[in-house]
């Protein structure tokens, strides 16, 4: 590897590897309807998702009714579990990105704020053998941007954090990378903009998956 190239990559899932926005939005809107509340446009969810279902529910409802937010969280977890792969697909060229990095011998992992069992299910549906480790949301205190699981993934892959590119589409991913001591890589094909990622302090930002692969593997 080149001196500035990674020995391993940790990927965010939603908005980075897969476009899951429609499945998430439809699931939450169905739950809002059950509570007698109006739906939100799918595009609104770009700035609502990224920090787990409890935070998503709170953002949808505000801080005025924590009991209702808890009920929405409960409903959303159950509903989304029935349909996480209805519309969700990898982004264009992401398959090739994963394959090229893997073929070059890089260790690969996924760290998501999606519930753990669903994170594993989605990743394995598209990449059954490509990732060395997969970690999703388990408990609120440990969700990203808490760096604990990122550091544990580094340990499992036997690499130092500074040798890792942490790749994601939101400021939360950038903050997680910084707190873990990894290189923060922002991607613009997901839910947030280049301006969002640069304002968050991403070390590098890429617009195309294969350009990311070229730079990661350049010698």
Give me the phi and psi of 113, to 5 degrees please: -90, 5
* DSSP at 216: H
Which tokens hold the place of 74? 């409960």
Options 12, 14, 19, 169, the catalytic residue: 12
d(Cα 123, Cα 132) in Å, to the nearest integer? 11
- Nearest Cα neighbor of 106 from 210, 10, 204 is 10
CA distance 14 to 119: 9
Return d(Cα 112, Cα 142) in angstroms, integer.
11
User: To 5 degrees, how large is the angle CA 141–CA 143–CA 148?
Assistant: 85
Residue 135 tokens, joined? 């970690």
The two structure tokens encoding residue 204:
């590098």
Question: Is-catalytic flag, 196?
Answer: no
Catalytic residue numbers read: 12
């Amino acid at each position: 590897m080149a001196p500035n190239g990674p020995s391993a990559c940790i990927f965010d899932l939603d908005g980075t590897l897969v476009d899951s926005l429609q499945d998430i939005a439809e699931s939450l809107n169905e739950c809002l309807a059950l509570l007698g509340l109006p739906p939100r446009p799918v595009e609104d969810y770009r700035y609502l998702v990224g920090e787990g279902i409890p935070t998503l529910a709170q953002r949808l409802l505000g801080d005025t009714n924590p009991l209702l937010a808890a009920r929405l969280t409960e409903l959303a977890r159950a509903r989304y579990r029935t349909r996480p792969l209805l519309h969700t697909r990898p982004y264009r060229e992401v398959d090739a990105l994963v394959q090229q990095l893997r073929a070059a011998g890089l260790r690969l992992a996924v760290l998501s704020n999606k519930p753990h069992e669903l994170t594993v299910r989605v990743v394995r549906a598209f990449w059954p053998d490509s990732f060395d480790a997969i970690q999703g949301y388990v408990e609120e205190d440990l969700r990203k941007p808490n760096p604990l699981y990122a550091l544990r993934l580094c340990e499992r892959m036997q690499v130092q954090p500074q040798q890792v590119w942490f790749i994601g589409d939101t400021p939360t991913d950038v903050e997680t990378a910084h707190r873990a001591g990894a290189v923060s890589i922002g991607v613009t094909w997901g839910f947030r903009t280049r301006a969002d990622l640069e304002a968050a302090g991403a070390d590098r930002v890429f617009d195309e998956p294969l350009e990311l692969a070229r730079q990661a593997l350049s010698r």
